[in-house]
Amino acid sequence: VVSGCSSPTAQEMDAWTASIQGAVTAGAEKYAPEDLKKLNSQLAAANDEIKAQEGKFFKSYDKAKEMFAKVKADADAVKPTLAAKKDEAKKNAEAALGAAKAAIEEANAFLAKAPAGKDSRAELEAMKADVKGLADGLAEVDKLMASEDFAPAADKAKAIGEKASAVSAQVKQAMEKVAAAKTKTKKK
């Protein structure tokens, strides 16, 4: 009599799936998406192995069971790292938010000093409106931080900071241009 390894029981399947679900519940989607993607890929491969064995006359589920055991072990290993990854994501988001606020303050300071001629007045008002819009966008970053969506919060804060820095650079360049023109006029 030839018989292969028996198929995984429902309890085994539930335990393996619960292990991944435990990682998801612990925050893997937000703080370790690469790890979760890897776990889901491993789980799919293990399920594919079971399906492959079901189509055979002599079935052996040993490889599938090993694959599932590895998925469970990897999922269990991810859980303890999530707190540290969450803290790191929070720190990154806080740093990006701080940099964005500083960039907005700098842009406002440059705008306050910017030379306002008849040709540039409308452009300055547009830049001030842009910077105000960026400052208003910080409220959305705060909401993302409050809901612990740190990666999107960091991305949005970085984008705001970059746009505010671009405004500062533009105003600074205009100020240097005006200063250079005044220097030329004084030399004549």
- Rounded-to-integer distance, Cα 45 and Cα 54, Å: 14
Instruction: Report pTM.
Output: 0.70
pLDDT digits (tens, 9 = 90+) for 96-149: 999 999 999 999 998 888 877 776 788 888 899 999 999 999 999 999 999 999
Q: Scanning the structure block, which residue is given the tokens 């994501």? A: 89
Cα radius of gyration (the chain)? 29
pLDDT digits (tens, 9 = 90+) for 76-90: 899 889 989 999 999
